[in-house]
A = this chain, B = another copy of it.
Amino acid sequence: MTDKLHEECGVFGIWKKNGQDASLDIYNGLLSLQHRGQEAAGIAVCNTYGERGNICIHKDMGLVTEVFDEAMLNDLQGNIGVGHVRYSTTGDSTIRNAQPIAFQYLKGTLALVHNGNIVNASDIKSELLKDGSVFHATSDSEVIATLIAKIRAHTGSIEEAVREIIPKLQGGYALIIMSPRKIIAVRDPWGIKPLCLGKVEDGYVVASESCALTSVEAEFIRDIRPGEIVTLSKNGMASDTSMCTEKTSHAHCIFEYIYFARLDSSMDGVGIYDARFRGGMALAQAHPADADIVTGVPESGLTAAEGFAHASGLPFVRAFHKNSYIGRTFIKPTDKERHSAVHMKLGVIPGSVSGKRVVLIDDSIVRGTTISNLITMLRKAGATEVHVRISSPPFLHPCYYGTDVPDNSQLIANKYSIEEIRSRIGADSLAYMRLEDLSTMVEGAPICKACFDGTYPTGGTK
Contact = CB atoms under 8 A, between A and B. Distances in A.
Interface stretch (A99-107, A407-415, A426-434): A99-107
Given A153-B130, A324-B324, A316 B316 contact: yes
B351 A214 contact: no
B303 A318 contact: yes
Contact of A330 (B65, B262, B263, B326): B65
A53 to B, nearest CB: 16
Interface string A244-287: 00000000000000000011101000010110000000000000
A149 interface: yes
A126 to B, nearest CB: 9
A35 B325 contact: yes
Nearest to A136: B103
Contacts of A150: 132
A68 B329 CA distance: 10
A383 interface: no
A106 B130 contact: yes
Contacts of A214: 343, 347-348
Interface residues of A, number: 75
Interface string A185-222: 00000000000000000000000000100110100000
Contacts of A401: none
A69 B330 CA distance: 8
Interface string A301-328: 0110010001000011110110111110
A102 B318 contact: no
Contact of A344 (B32, B146, B271): B32
B136 A101 contact: yes
Given A136-B103, A153-B132, A343-B215, A65 B351 contact: no
A394 B129 CA distance: 50
B103 A134 contact: yes
Q: Which 5 A-B pairs have the closest CB atoms?
A: A271-B351, A264-B347, A34-B325, A263-B321, A264-B321
Interface of A: 24, 27-28, 31-32, 34-35, 38, 63-66, 68-70, 73, 95, 101-106, 129-136, 138, 145-146, 149-150, 153, 211, 214-215, 217, 262-264, 266, 271, 273-274, 302-303, 306, 310, 315-318, 320-321, 323-327, 329-331, 340, 343-344, 347-352
